[in-house]
Amino acid sequence: MNLKKLTKKNETYLLLIVIVFSIVINTINPVFMTVENIFDLLRSSSGTAILAIGVFVVLLSGGIDVSCTAIAICGQYIAINVLIASGVDNIVMAFLISISVGLALGAVNAVFISIFNLPTLITTLGTSSLFHGLLLEFVGTKAVNVGNIPDSIKAFGKMNILTIARPDGTEYGLSIFFLILVIVVVVTWLILKFTMIGRGIYAIGGNREAAQRTGYNIRKIQFFTYCYAGLLAGVMGVMHLALIRYSNPNYIVGTELNIIAAVVLGGTRISGGTGTLTGTLIGVALITILQKNLVLIGLSSYWQEFFIGMIIVLGVTITYAQNKINARRKLSIDSV
Amino acid sequence: MKIKIKSSKNFTLFIIMMMIFILLSIVMPSKFLTGINLQSMASQFPEFGLLALAMMMAMITGGIDLSIISISNFTGVIAALILSGSMDSSTPAGVAILFAVVAVVAVSMVCGLLNGLLIAMIGVPPILATLGTQGLFLGLAIVITKGHSVSGFPEVFMGLGSGTVIGIPVPFMIFALIAFLVSVLLKRTRQGFNMFMVGANPVVSKFSGVNNTKVLINTYMLTAVLAGLASLIMISRVNSMRPGYGTAYLLQAILVAVLGGTDPDGGFGSVKGLVMGIVILQITQSGLNIMSFSPFFKKFIWGFALLAIMVINFLLHKYNEKKRIQSMTDMKKAAKAG
């Protein structure tokens, strides 16, 4: 790709910010740029990235989904409770249960949005409260401690696809979580690039009216979008469980705005139609580095909220100011 | 046509409100219909009622304000620090309270101005702008207090949140006054009229000579000031302030605004409907409390109610539309026959 094209891309700037930021952190604390820390970052952020991809697809279609975190925790908590109650100790089973819960709850969103045509933000705010309330009321409120977590899930959390030995003989490695993320990225990319539904997601996000007249089935596309986001949330639920080896029905919920922030920082337009997977992944990287590494440069964790808010405000300000300037430039050329 | 739908919407709300009230009064008259319960209900809702008013105003202009709770937290922390500081330095309570109120209004106006500038000048969608500033303001509140809570205020200040005058709770009177002022603003002033115009169709309003930028900036400053006032009632009622307090109010504020007939797409909403929405929410909440339902069940109920209301609105709209088309075709047929 030539340089001129690169300088016009949002992702290039974002990547530059991430790189500069990493260098700054690294000069203050050289622990940051070690392979071990990067592998660790990949392991802990893969789940967030998968959730973000779900939100990304929804945003592309011109909607928004703030219930994804509630769906993820529902999938996780129901899966772990079923596994413990039935005595089945199998990671595939955990994924199956969590994904079916995710799909079902995603379908609930889909019904409200595609059939009743309700505004997406308010619908998903409502379903988020509905799902989480149901989970706490009817499934339980007790956290599952590490002692009660089935062995297969713990083993899955420690599984590596690549191991490197430290000088002292102990080992560290690249977690299997990263492989799942790669699979999700490839599948999502294939869907968006090569299927009618994928092209339709871009189309209805860009111009709903035009997409409808072109013959896209908007209901079907929206239905797919929210179910897919639910499915990914289900996957994330189990990954989160294997990561922290603890299940609290109040976890994950409340982080949805950070996830949306990551996607939006990645250049996805909130009104739909524009955005890339690469941008989303870089956005997640930026938010993760901010969240996990402020401590490395000696800032207390209570600065976190402030910095993330700051980054979102700056990010969207730059994007929309740019849009405004571009629009004005176009107008002035047209009028000449 | 529109007026008819509007009045019928408020009428439906009124019926729902009365039905819930009568139902609860019949089922448990000894617990629900008591002076103490009515009084406690009237002192509970004002803080989030003000937030709901703010949400409604943002929605009328076609936007949304996700940062109101964070603004409340931020201004609440500032007021709490001023008030508890005055206890140590033995400043007269009156001076401290005046100072705190001025600080709250000033800070919230600055917060609102930031929202307004982002939205109106730079053109950031309201949901994104306020999503960012939500983190920013809450972050500031956390940074200032280092995450701890602030408590210990002058005795007089507690009257604001928990005092009563001839049996009527003070927060209720504050809410009534502000709701009245907002109603006047929306119905009788140029700013109010323009807010509806911008919400209904920003392009048309711009070409009709409305200064959209100014209207939006004013709107977000007003919502922020309402959030600031809510924080004063909040801290005086619970006698302390902790950043992160009241996050559940965000969903409830949106719920009440939509329940009260505000159109989330902009251009429509009324204080009358909103107040009825608040009353419905509050008496249902009180009823659920008396029947000792868990807070989780309430969470479920709020989500369910929000969705149910919107589905009903959708079906009603569809039904009205169908009837309108039906009557038009009938008229045509009649004209042909005649």
Distance of CA A97 to the CA centre of its chain: 20
Q: Which residues of B touch A126 (CB under 8 A)?
A: 251, 255, 302-304, 306-307, 310
Contact check, Cβ <8 Å, A302/B125: no
B234-250 pLDDT, tens digit per residue, is 898 888 888 888 887 88
DSSP string, B59-93: HHTT---TTHHHHHHHHHHHHHHHHHHHHHTT--H
Strand partners for B150: B241
Handedness of CA A307, A309, A312, A317 (dihedral sign): negative
Compute the average pLDDT of residues A128-135. Answer: 94
Would you say residue A201 has pLDDT above 50?
yes
The answer to whether residue A186 scores a pLDDT higher than 90 is yes
Write down the pLDDT at residue A180. 95
pLDDT of residue A6: 66
Determine the average pLDDT of the residues in A172-190.
Answer: 93
Classify residue A112 by its DSSP letter. Answer: I
Note the ipTM here.
0.83
Picking from A271, A306, A321, the nearest residue to B140 by CB comes out as A306
Print burial letters for B249-267: b (CB count within 10 Å at least 16), e (below 16). bbbbbbbbbbbbbbbbebb
Q: Rounded CA gap, B237 and B63, in Å?
A: 30
Q: Which of B74, B131, B220 to mutate to test the interface with A (most CBs of A within 10 A)?
A: B131
Class of the CATH-defined domain A3-335: mainly alpha
Report the alpha-carbon angle A317-A322-A323, nearest 5: 100
Over 70: is that where the pLDDT of B292 sits?
Answer: yes
In whole angstroms, give the CA distance from residue B77 to residue B63.
27
How far apart, in whole angstroms, are the C-alpha atoms of residue A56 and residue A70?
Answer: 17
Mutation pick from B310, B312, B318, B319 vs chain A, by most beta carbons of A within 10 Å, is B310
Q: Helix, strand, or coil here: A165?
A: strand
B121 touches chain A (CB under 8 A): no
Q: Is B129 on the interface with A (CB under 8 A)?
A: yes
Helical H segments across A165-303, by residue range: 176-194, 196-206, 208-214, 218-244, 256-265, 277-293
| Residue A7: predicted pLDDT | 63
Domain ranges of chain A: 3-335
pLDDT level of residue A8 (50, 70, 90 thresholds): low
Select from A129, A260, A304 the Cβ nearest to the Cβ of B303. Answer: A129
pLDDT of A3 reads 65
Residue B12, pLDDT score:
77
pLDDT at residue A335, rounded to an integer: 46
Q: A314: closest CA among B120, B142, B118?
A: B118
C-alpha–C-alpha distance, residues A264 and A286, integer Å: 12
pLDDT value of residue B3: 46
